[in-house]
Amino acid sequence: TITQIQPGRLILKGALTKEQIARVIQMHWAQIRYCYEKELTKNPKLGGKVVIAWRIGGTGAVETANVKSTTMNNDAVENCITRRIIRWKFPVPQGGGVVDVNYPFIFKVAG
C-alpha cells in the first residue's frame, strides 16, 4: 500500500520563516508517516485532514501542540502526531518571542 501525506497551507505567526518551519517538518516526515501507517493496518480506508496547532517558544522548543481540527477523527493518529511534534526542535526565533504554527496534514491511501 502506498500512502500519501501532503502538507496543506501553513499558517504562521512569529519570527520564523515558512521555509524554516517546513524544513523541520520535512526532517520529521517519517514520524508523521509512522503515526498514520500504524493505524492504517487496522483501518485500510483511513484518511483525512488533520490540522495541528503548535507553539514554538523562544528557545526553539515546542511548548504546546494540539489538534485544531480533523476530518480523520482518529485519536490514535492525532495523539501520535502531537506527541511527536512536542519533541521537535526549531531554530531559535529571531528576537525571541513565540511562533504559532497551524499546519494541515492531508492523509490518503494512493491507488
pLDDT at 5: 62
Q: What is the CA radius of gyration of the chain?
A: 14
Please, what are the averages of pLDDT over each run of 10 residues along the chain (111 residues)?
Answer: 63 82 94 95 94 95 97 97 98 88 90 62
pTM here? 0.88
Q: Which one-letter amino acid corresponds to residue 49?
A: K
Q: Is residue 38 helix, strand or coil?
A: helix
Q: In angstroms, how far is CA 76 from the centroid of its own chain?
A: 14
29-40 vs 18-27: helix crossing angle, rounded to 10: 50
